[in-house]
């Protein structure tokens, strides 16, 4: 179980990173440009840069714009501007997802040749309807189109076969975890009926191709880990990345922070006169790495983990 002591939390995480990743890791900061960066992103950045700098690792900046319908160029520019203002410098800026169509197609060709991909004509609504009285829960795909032999062509979704079986992994903060993707989500959607690649599929192909071996992200994505490990092996990555899931910050009411919460937008906070070091310190405190906020320049983030 993770500790609630701020100093120990950072040191425990660093200890596990060092134990399980003997060479300097490659991690990534990977926002979706569907809005401006907010405090939730900043929490993630504090963990990503802090750990990377503490162990001599590298931070890749990856723009996750796989969903072309919701992304906007001004948000991409905003990511670069905000990171620059904060003093958070990536070691490399890798290709955005919108430029990686060929890689996603090649991955799908491989899965198809292995008999692991099939066409799916189900709509999101049809699958959600199966959830009945519990629409908030994730509905596993029931396998409707598995045996229909539908093509992987236009107008149809593409799913990857997910057979039953546990995925076990050591989360670098939470410890031992076990998930069965067949129970959680069933056959994974790689491309939807509109031709858009999905988040789950893109990140696995990207992390493989870009050599990311340490994924540091919020605990809201913990349930995605098993399926991403499974998919990584299908995509010829026998040693998948290690994962660290950090706490999320929440509003007093308990709701998750999102882009809809305008009060936490970095642009608004900056306009209100907050300094970069003050915001980084606030993010560190909100995610349990400091007892209370204090100014923390980007160059000192490693100290949250080295003690």
The yes or no reply on residue 234 touching Zn ion (CB under 5 A) is no
Quick one: 58 or 146, whose CB is closer to Zn ion?
Answer: 146
| Count, residues near Zn ion per rule CB under 5 A | 4
| Residue linked to tokens 């031992």 | 176
Length of the chain counted residue by residue: 307
Quick one: 144 or 223, whose CB is closer to Zn ion?
Answer: 144
Candidate ranges 39-47, 139-147, 205-213, 250-258; the one touching Zn ion (CB under 5 A): 139-147
- Closest distance to Zn ion from the beta carbon of 124 (Å): 11
**DSSP string spanning 49-92?**
HHHHHHHT-EEEE------TTT--HHHHHHHHHHHHHHT---SE
- Residue 46 half-sphere exposure toward CB, CA atoms < 13 A: 33
N-terminal to C-terminal alpha carbon distance within the chain:
20
Give the helix/strand (H/E) hosting 44.
helix 39-55
The yes or no reply on residue 232 touching Zn ion (CB under 5 A) is no
The yes or no reply on residue 185 touching Zn ion (CB under 5 A) is no
- Closest distance to Zn ion from the beta carbon of 199 (Å): 19
Quick one: 195 or 307, whose CB is closer to Zn ion?
Answer: 195
Candidate ranges 141-149, 189-197, 228-236, 293-301; the one touching Zn ion (CB under 5 A): 141-149
Candidate ranges 138-146, 180-188, 190-198, 297-305; the one touching Zn ion (CB under 5 A): 138-146
Quick one: 122 or 202, whose CB is closer to Zn ion?
Answer: 122
Residues 6+ apart with CB under 8 A from 142: 127, 130, 186
The yes or no reply on residue 162 touching Zn ion (CB under 5 A) is no
- Closest distance to Zn ion from the beta carbon of 144 (Å): 4
The yes or no reply on residue 284 touching Zn ion (CB under 5 A) is no
Q: For residue 269, how many other CB atoms are within 10 A of its CB?
A: 18
Distances (CA, A) of 160 to 4, 130, 185, 198: 39, 20, 11, 12
Q: What does the angle CA 261 – CA 256 – CA 124 come to, to the nearest 5 degrees? A: 95
The yes or no reply on residue 145 touching Zn ion (CB under 5 A) is yes
118-137 positions binding Zn ion, by CB under 5 A:
120, 122
- Closest distance to Zn ion from the beta carbon of 188 (Å): 12
Whether the Cβ atoms of residue 97 and residue 202 lie closer than 8 Å to each other: yes
- Closest distance to Zn ion from the beta carbon of 132 (Å): 18
Q: For residue 176, how many other CB atoms are within 10 A of its CB?
A: 8
- Closest distance to Zn ion from the beta carbon of 90 (Å): 39
Quick one: 193 or 270, whose CB is closer to Zn ion?
Answer: 193
Residues that bind Zn ion (CB under 5 A): 120, 122, 144-145
């Amino acid at each position: 179980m993770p500790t609630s002591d701020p100093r120990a939390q950072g040191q425990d995480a660093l200890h596990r990173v060092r134990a399980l990743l003997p060479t300097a890791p490659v991690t990534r900061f990977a926002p979706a440009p569907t809005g401006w960066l907010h405090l939730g992103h900043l929490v993630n950045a504090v963990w990503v840069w802090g750990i990377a700098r503490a162990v001599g690792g590298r931070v890749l900046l990856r723009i996750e714009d796989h969903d072309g319908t919701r992304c906007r160029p001004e948000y991409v520019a905003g990511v670069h501007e905000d990171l620059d203002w904060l003093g958070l410098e990536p070691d490399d800026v890798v290709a955005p997802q919108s430029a990686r169509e060929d890689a996603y197609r090649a991955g799908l060709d491989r899965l198809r040749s292995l008999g692991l991909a099939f066409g799916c004509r189900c709509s999101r609504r049809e699958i959600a309807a199966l959830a009945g009285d519990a629409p908030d829960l994730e509905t596993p795909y029931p396998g409707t189109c598995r045996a229909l032999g539908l093509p992987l062509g236009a107008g149809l979704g593409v799913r990857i076969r997910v057979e039953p079986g546990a995925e076990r992994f050591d989360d670098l903060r939470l410890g031992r975890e076990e998930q069965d993707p067949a129970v959680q989500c069933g056959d994974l959607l790689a491309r939807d009926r509109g031709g858009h690649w999905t988040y789950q599929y893109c990140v696995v192909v990207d992390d493989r191709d870009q050599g990311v071996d340490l994924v540091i992200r919020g605990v809201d994505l913990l349930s995605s880990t098993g399926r991403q490990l499974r998919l990584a092996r299908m995509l010829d990555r026998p040693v998948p990345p290690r994962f660290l899931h950090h706490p999320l910050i929440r509003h007093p009411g308990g709701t998750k922070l999102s882009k809809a919460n305008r009060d936490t937008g970095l642009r608004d906070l900056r306009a209100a006169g907050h300094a970069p070091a003050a915001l980084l310190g606030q993010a560190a405190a909100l995610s349990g790495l400091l007892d209370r906020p204090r100014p923390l320049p980007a160059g000192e983030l490693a100290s949250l983990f080295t003690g």
